Structure 1
Amino acid sequence: MMRRLGLAAVLAALAVPMLMPEEAAAQRRQQMPSRTELGGGNTQIPEAQQEKTFPLGASWSVVQLNGKPVYDRRATLLVDKNLRGTGFGGCNTFSASAYPLRQQGFAVGPIAVTKRTCDKGALEFERAFLMALRTASKWDLVNGRLLLKGSAGELTLSRSL
């Protein structure tokens, strides 16, 4: 018996708006702000910005690290179609999962690095580069350059062969 009463109550609740369409429409109009309330009748709605496509399969070389030009060090990055990031950090080669995300987000998984012995300057540069890469959370393409930004720094990369 309880089940029938529950079903009857649901059906009655659904039928009420159908019995009074003018009143339901009036309530919706009251809840929705008018064009004038939103800033005037001539307000143009901006077009949605088109999502950029991450350049998979392209080779990149670091030209700036944290806003400073990189002249004496070499570091590279390539993100292939299997979302595998590989490159050279200045001393060692590395690989990691690299995921371009929606709204120009970016995520890099744990980085595997070879263990070559290099001078202190090369190792410090490599550590800063890999930290900036590992913590990168946003990417953008500006004037043909790839920008990666994250909590540990910013990388600017230029297309390379």
Structure 2
Amino acid sequence: MTRRLGLAAVLVALAVPMLTSNEAAAQRRQQMPSRSELGGGNAPIPQAQQEKTFPVGASWSVVQLNGKEVYDRRATLMIDQNLRGTGFGGCNTFSAAAYPLRQQGIAVGPIAVTKRSCDKGLLDFERAFLMALRTANKWDLVNGRLVLKGSAGELTLSRSL
């Protein structure tokens, strides 16, 4: 009989900590707000936004440079399947390595430019355009337009033929 009491005492000694840990877990569950209390209700859990695909092979024309409309200047850009960016800066043609990156990043390598002679206003525009292109590190498609942003400014380009 004492052996049974000894065994019973051991089982009780083991069960008491288990009961207290279960009670503590139950209290934690009661203290945590429910999904509806958090405003979730039956609302779906937000999914990660699908990453956009850079429009390789499309031809673009500049319509805004640093927020200003571009009416009297013609500048273009196309990034081909070989990740080569080419175009016209308003006076000269150019080419550079251009790599669309994850999370809508972009890296543009050093730009090779022809050396045509043009008036100062056109060359100033071309310089600002190429500098904004070279320093671009983010891209986005907004209302069908390609937007490139970087430390030297922002370019907005519209699809062209």
> What's the TM-score once normalised by structure 1's chain length?
0.75
Give the 3-state SS of the residue equivalent to 2:131 in structure 1. Answer: helix
CA distance in 1 between partners of 2:82 and 2:33 (Å): 48
1:135 aligns to 2:129 (yes or no): no
CA distance in 1 between partners of 2:147 and 2:39 (Å): 39
CA contact 1:95–1:111 (8 Å) conserved in 2: yes
CA distance in 2 between partners of 1:36 and 1:148 (Å): 43
Aligned residue pairs total 134
Aligned to 1:74: 74
Give the 3-state SS of the residue equivalent to 2:140 in structure 1. Answer: strand
Deviation at 1:41, TM superposition (A): 6.4
Query: Aligned in 2, Cα 1:35/1:59: closer, same or farther, shift over 3 Å?
Result: farther
CA distance in 2 between partners of 1:35 and 1:141 (Å): 40
Query: Aligned in 2, Cα 1:40/1:61: closer, same or farther, shift over 3 Å?
Result: closer
CA distance in 1 between partners of 2:65 and 2:150 (Å): 12
CA distance in 2 between partners of 1:41 and 1:143 (Å): 31
Deviation at 1:48, TM superposition (A): 1.1
Query: Aligned in 2, Cα 1:76/1:41: closer, same or farther, shift over 3 Å?
Result: closer
One-letter identity of the residue aligned with 1:75: A
CA contact 1:85–1:95 (8 Å) conserved in 2: yes
Aligned to 1:92: 92
CA contact 1:35–1:41 (8 Å) conserved in 2: no
Query: Aligned in 2, Cα 1:47/1:35: closer, same or farther, shift over 3 Å?
Result: farther
Gaps of 5+ in 1: 1-22
Larger Rg: 2
Gaps of 5+ in 2: 1-20
Query: Aligned in 2, Cα 1:59/1:36: closer, same or farther, shift over 3 Å?
Result: same
Give the 3-state SS of the residue equivalent to 1:81 in structure 2. Answer: coil
Aligned to 1:47: 47
CA distance in 1 between partners of 2:93 and 2:76 (Å): 9
Aligned to 2:125: 125
Runs ≥4 residues deviating over 3 A = 34-44
CA-based RMSD of the aligned residues comes to: 2.3
One-letter identity of the residue aligned with 2:82: N
One-letter identity of the residue aligned with 2:121: G
> What's the TM-score once normalised by structure 2's chain length?
0.75
CA contact 1:89–1:126 (8 Å) conserved in 2: yes
CA contact 1:96–1:111 (8 Å) conserved in 2: yes
Aligned to 1:155: 155
Aligned-pair identity (%): 82
CA distance in 1 between partners of 2:46 and 2:91 (Å): 47
